[in-house]
Amino acid sequence: MAQTKEKPKRYQFKAEIKQLLDILVHSLYTNREIFVRELVSNAADALDKARFEEIRGSKIADPDLPFEIHIDLDEENKKFTITDTGIGMSREELVANIGTIAHSGSADFIKKIAGNEQQGPELIGQFGVGFYSVFMAGSEVLITTQSHDPKEDAFQWRSDGTGSYTIKNADKAPRGTKIEVTLREDAHEFSEKARIENVIKRYSNFVPFPIKINGEQVNTISAIWREPKSSVKKDQYIEFYKFITNGSEEPLSHMHISSDAPIQFSSIIYIPATNPEMIGFPMQEEGMNLFVKRILVQPNCKDLLPNYLRFLRGVVDSEDIPLNISRETLQENLLISKIRNVLTKKVLGHLKDMAEKEPDKYAEFWKQFGRNLKEGYTDFMNRDEIIKLFRFNSSSHENEDQLTSLEEYVKRMAENQNSIYYLSGSSREVIQQNPHLEMFRKKGLEVLYLYEPIDEFFMTNTQEFDGKKFASADQVEPESLDEIKAESEEDAKNNRPKDDRKLADLCARIKNILGDRITEVKPSARLTDSPAVLVNPDGSMSAQMQKIMQTISKDSNVPPKVMEINGKHPLIKNMLKLYTNNPKDKRLTKTVENLYHSVVLLDGYLPDPHKIVAGLQELLLDSSKLYVKSQ
């Protein structure tokens, strides 16, 4: 039904698109050629979808029209036109797809790009804002589109990329989408054949449909994943990676896998060099594309690898899977789960090899994707292999960058040591100040430093490695360390609190002052340098785990714990003197309150800053009086 006389309807771009267009047109003129890549990639997607519809048995418009991309260049009139015979769009689809940014990350994208223009072209492709890049080179854009659905009309979309666009009905057109770009004064180069051919060769060589410039095909269509490894060059792997990621970054590593049993498939899998999740982007979409007999049946297929490996990018192609498989049945498909099992094992094997043969590269991998891999502790089938890939910073290292595997830790363990010790904290500095570390330091026992909450979950869930139990350093009893490395007679004598009975009395007095805030006060055998520490009562969880659970249940109270005091510390010795002189001495009460505040702070709580500061300032006043007196 032709309705070309109809008055075009005007729509405003959404605010974020206006902002994006502004950035694209005014800031990103380096590398403008990527708009060609973006339009070709959209055309290829549209063709993939149309072909998929046809395979599924849907009735599509113009079924005899070959799946192709045509680029027509008009040097005289400075025009660039790209036409595909793909899926096309209805009016609603035009408004929804071209008028709004569908992806939730778009606001983030705009923020990031605004301060970081060089990375712009890289980010555009990743964020699905590709179409708008056309306005970097075009002063006016006209889209004519005819849906694959034979019942739909054709539509025309027009905009100069400033604030608004119009849509109107058009005469019936062949299936697909035609985008006509009137080039800006300073972008006339994009109407030259040699220039465009060069761009296509650089970015779009792997597009699996013929790309014809002014009628002449310029790309070679090949599925490199189906070729034998020996015939694919390193550069081709890199090119292909850039193609599937729509970016210019090179991968960290790749694997080329072909399998005949238990199921036939070929695959190329890449490990990217950087992880967007690490710099605050939301959880990434799965990056594997499923092909059946060289035809893309599902991009970003989430069933080909477990979720913790979502950062991998690549393709899987199998002859054995039915072409018309749907998203819903994929998940239950036995063949797919077999492929997933094989791929997961291959990937873990590849990482193991990398760790052994290229430790520096593996360290780089761990820095980027370690956090993702840690989620894999829930993969029971592969858990043993995954745990061996974990790396930790520990007390045997000199700085935060050094890492150890659990296997290496076990090799360094003391002869009678049966546990793997760890301690959690927000940084190396914080952990090293933790009084619980003192007795390990004294005995020269290694403690792993954990910096992320997921580490605690992993330790508590997994419980052991190689028959050695994981133990949080703040839950270990000093006696159990004596069994590993017995103290010398001398040490034992020095460590025993000098005046046991009096110290026990002091403990009782402290408990009396602090009341229900603590469960018990006792002399400590674990401390060397600190006056006191809080210890979780027997059998309960580590301090860090307790904090995680409290965060989850929004509970900010300090849980009652055991307070241990160090009889050899000058502060405790002085308190003992005060106590012996007068058990009710007010100054003793004050000191106990302040000591309690300090151990609570060290334990990672900040219950009542006003009280803490008031106590501290009172002490300052006392000591200043003494200073003045001694002047």
Interface contacts to ligand ADP, rule CB under 6 A: 38, 42-43, 46, 84, 86-89, 97-98, 128-131, 177
460: CB partners within 8 A, 6+ apart: 470, 541, 542, 545
Smallest distance from the beta carbon of 145 to ligand ADP, in angstroms?
7
Identify whether the C-beta of residue 292 lies closer than 8 Å to the C-beta of residue 318. yes
- 196 or 445, CB closer to ligand ADP? 196
Smallest distance from the beta carbon of 89 to ligand ADP, in angstroms?
5
Could you give the angle at which helices 586-602 and 500-514 cross, rounded to 10 degrees? Answer: 80
Smallest distance from the beta carbon of 16 to ligand ADP, in angstroms?
12
Smallest distance from the beta carbon of 128 to ligand ADP, in angstroms?
3
- 130 or 370, CB closer to ligand ADP? 130
Smallest distance from the beta carbon of 15 to ligand ADP, in angstroms?
16
Smallest distance from the beta carbon of 60 to ligand ADP, in angstroms?
13
- 90 or 546, CB closer to ligand ADP? 90
149: CB partners within 8 A, 6+ apart: 60, 61, 88, 90
- 100 or 433, CB closer to ligand ADP? 100
Smallest distance from the beta carbon of 246 to ligand ADP, in angstroms?
8
- 42 or 434, CB closer to ligand ADP? 42
Q: Which residue reads 């994009």 in tokens?
A: 190
Please name the amino acid found at residue 260: D
Smallest distance from the beta carbon of 130 to ligand ADP, in angstroms?
3
Identify the helix (H) or strand (E) that includes residue 479: helix 478-484
Smallest distance from the beta carbon of 381 to ligand ADP, in angstroms?
34
- 38 or 303, CB closer to ligand ADP? 38
Q: Of 201, 211, 34, which is closest to residue 131 (Cα–Cα)?
A: 34
CB-count burial class (<10 Å; 0-12, 13-18, 19+) for 236 = middle
Q: Report d(CA 611, CA 444) in Å as an integer.
A: 38
Please name the amino acid found at residue 269: I
- 53 or 482, CB closer to ligand ADP? 53
Identify the helix (H) or strand (E) that includes residue 191: none
Please, what's the b/e burial string for 528-557 (b: 16 or more CB within 10 A of its CB; e: otherwise)? Answer: eebbbbbbbeeeebbbbbbbbeeeeeeeee
Smallest distance from the beta carbon of 186 to ligand ADP, in angstroms?
23
What is the SS3 assignment for 527-550? Answer: CCCCCEEEECCCCCCCHHHHHHHH
To the nearest 5 percent, what fractions of the chain are helix, strand and coil? 45, 20, 35
- 90 or 524, CB closer to ligand ADP? 90
- 157 or 365, CB closer to ligand ADP? 157
Residue nearest to ligand ADP (CB): 128
Smallest distance from the beta carbon of 24 to ligand ADP, in angstroms?
11
The pair of three-digit structure tokens given for residue 394, joined into one six-digit string: 């520990």
Smallest distance from the beta carbon of 119 to ligand ADP, in angstroms?
17
Smallest distance from the beta carbon of 125 to ligand ADP, in angstroms?
8
The pair of three-digit structure tokens given for residue 176, joined into one six-digit string: 């697909």
- 211 or 336, CB closer to ligand ADP? 211
- 177 or 267, CB closer to ligand ADP? 177
- 97 or 341, CB closer to ligand ADP? 97
Q: Report d(CA 172, CA 187) in Å as an integer.
A: 32
Please name the amino acid found at residue 426: S
- 42 or 530, CB closer to ligand ADP? 42
Q: Report d(CA 313, CA 255) in Å as an integer.
A: 11
The pair of three-digit structure tokens given for residue 4, joined into one six-digit string: 């070309």
Q: What is the chain's length? A: 631
Smallest distance from the beta carbon of 248 to ligand ADP, in angstroms?
17
Identify the helix (H) or strand (E) that includes residue 72: strand 69-74
- 61 or 386, CB closer to ligand ADP? 61
Q: Report d(CA 567, CA 527) in Å as an integer.
A: 9
- 22 or 487, CB closer to ligand ADP? 22
Smallest distance from the beta carbon of 115 to ligand ADP, in angstroms?
22
Long-range contacts of the stretch 15-21 (C-beta < 8 A, 24+): 16/101, 16/106, 16/107, 16/110, 17/99, 17/100, 17/101, 17/132, 18/163, 19/110, 20/101, 20/106, 20/109, 20/110, 20/129, 20/132, 21/132, 21/135, 21/161, 21/162
Rounded to a whole number of angstroms, the CA Rg of the chain reads 33
DSSP 563: E
The pair of three-digit structure tokens given for residue 50, joined into one six-digit string: 């149309």
Q: What are phi and psi of 143, to 5 degrees?
A: -110, 130
